[in-house]
Amino acid sequence: MAREDKDIVASAVVSPKERTINIVVFILLCLGAVVMVFPLIYMVMTSFMTKNQILSGSLKVIPSPWVFGKYGEVLNKANFISGVLNTVKVEIPVLLIGGFTSSLAAFSFAKMKFRAKNAIFMGLLATIMIPFAVIMIPQYVMFTKMKWTDTLLPLIVPACFGNVSMIFFLRQNLSSIPNDLMDAAKLDGCGYFRTFAQIFFPLMKSAVGTQLTLWFMGIWNDYLAPVIFLRSEANWTLQVVIRSFNAYYAIQSDYALIMAASVIAMIPTIVLFFCFQRVIIESVAISGIK
Amino acid sequence: MNKKPKFKMSAMAKREERWGLIFVAAPAIGFVLFMAWPIIFAILTSLTKWNGSKGFAGMMSKYCGLDNYVKLFQDTKFWKTVLTTVIYLIGIPVGMILGLILAMGMNRKIPGVRVLRTMYYVPVISSLVAVSILWAWVYNYDYGLLNVIIKTLTGHHGPNWLGDEILIKVSMIIFMVWKGLGTSIILYLAGLQNIPRSYYEAAMVDGANGWQKFKNITLPLLSPVTFYILVTTLIGGFQVFVEVQVMTNKGGIGYSAATIVYYLYEKAFESYQLGYASAISLVLAVIVFIITALNFKVQKHWVKTID
Domains of chain A by start residue, with CATH: 4-68 (no CATH), 71-289 (1.10.3720.10)
| Residue from A57, A223, A207, A240 nearest B148 by CA | A57
Test the A interface: residue of B126, B238, B264 with most A CBs within 10 Å: B126
**B-chain residues within 8 Å CB-CB of A1?**
196, 306
Assigned domain for B131 exists: yes
Distance from CA of B129 to the nearest CA of A (A): 6
Helical axes B167-193 vs B113-125, angle rounded to 10°: 140
Q: What is the ipTM of this complex?
A: 0.88
- Looking at the structure, do residues B61 and B81 belong to the same domain, yes or no? no
Helical axes B167-193 vs B219-237, angle rounded to 10°: 140
CB contact under 8 A, A286 and B102: no
Last residue of some domain: B72, B96, B117?
B72
Tell me the whole-structure pTM to 2 decimals: 0.89
Residue type, position B102, single letter: L
- A234-243: average pLDDT: 93
Is the pLDDT confidence value at B81 over 70?
A: yes
How far is residue B11's CA from residue B3's CA, in Å, rounded to a whole number? Answer: 17
How far is residue B24's CA from residue B21's CA, in Å, rounded to a whole number? Answer: 5
A109 vs B: CB within 8 A? yes
B33 vs A: CB within 8 A? yes
Distance from CA of B77 to the nearest CA of A (A): 18
- The DSSP string of chain A is ---HHHHHHHHH---HHHHHHHHHHHHHHHHHHHHHHHHHHHHHHHHTS-HHHHTT-----S-SS---HHHHHHHT-HHHHHHHHHHHHHHHHIIIIIHHHHHHHHHHHHH---TTHHHHHHHHHHGGGS-HHHHHHHHHHHHHHTT-TTSSHHHHHHHHT--HHHHHHHHHHHTTS-THHHHHHHHTT--HHHIIIIIIHHHTHHHHHHHHHHHHHHHHH--HHHHHH--SGGG--HHHHHHHHHHHHHHTT-HHHHHHHHHHHHHHHHHHHHHHHHHHHHHHHHHHH-
- B92-127 confidence digits (pLDDT tens): 999 999 999 999 999 988 888 888 988 999 999 999
- Looking at the structure, do residues B267 and B281 belong to the same domain, yes or no? yes
Assigned domain for B266 exists: yes
- Looking at the structure, do residues B54 and B128 belong to the same domain, yes or no? no
Distance from CA of A5 to the nearest CA of B (A): 10
Q: Tell whether the torsion through CA atoms of B240, B244, B250 and B253 is positive or negative.
A: negative
What count of residues does chain B have? 307
- Looking at the structure, do residues B216 and B243 belong to the same domain, yes or no? yes
Phi/psi for A35 (5° steps) reads -60, -40
- Looking at the structure, do residues B161 and B277 belong to the same domain, yes or no? yes
How far is residue A264's CA from residue A92's CA, in Å, rounded to a whole number? Answer: 20
- A165-206 confidence digits (pLDDT tens): 999 999 988 888 888 888 888 888 888 899 898 889 998 988
Quick check: A82 and A234 in contact, CB under 8 A? Answer: yes
Test the B interface: residue of A13, A74, A161, A240 with most B CBs within 10 Å: A161
- Tally of structural domains, chain B: 2
Last residue of some domain: B31, B56, B72?
B72
- Which residue range is the domain that position B173 belongs to? 76-302
- A117-162 confidence digits (pLDDT tens): 999 999 998 888 889 999 999 999 999 989 998 899 999 999 999 9
- Looking at the structure, do residues B212 and B98 belong to the same domain, yes or no? yes
Long-range contacts of B139-147 (CB under 8 A, 24+ apart): B139/B171, B139/B247, B142/A55, B142/A57, B143/A54, B143/A55, B143/A56, B143/A57, B143/A255, B145/A39, B145/A42
Quick check: B124 and B232 in contact, CB under 8 A? Answer: no
**Cα separation values, A79 from A258, A261, B126, B132, Å:** 14, 11, 21, 21
Assigned domain for B2 exists: no
Assigned domain for B93 exists: yes
Report pLDDT for B113: 86
- A206-223: average pLDDT: 93
B137 vs A: CB within 8 A? yes
pLDDT band at B39 (very low <50, low <70, confident <90, very high): very high
Report pLDDT for A13: 60
Distance from CA of A173 to the nearest CA of B (A): 17
A165 vs B: CB within 8 A? no
pLDDT band at B8 (very low <50, low <70, confident <90, very high): low
CB contact under 8 A, B242 and A217: no
CB contact under 8 A, A137 and B197: no
A251 vs B: CB within 8 A? no
CB contact under 8 A, A141 and B31: no
| Residue from B81, B83, B139 nearest B255 by CA | B81
Assigned domain for B97 exists: yes
- Looking at the structure, do residues B68 and B80 belong to the same domain, yes or no? no
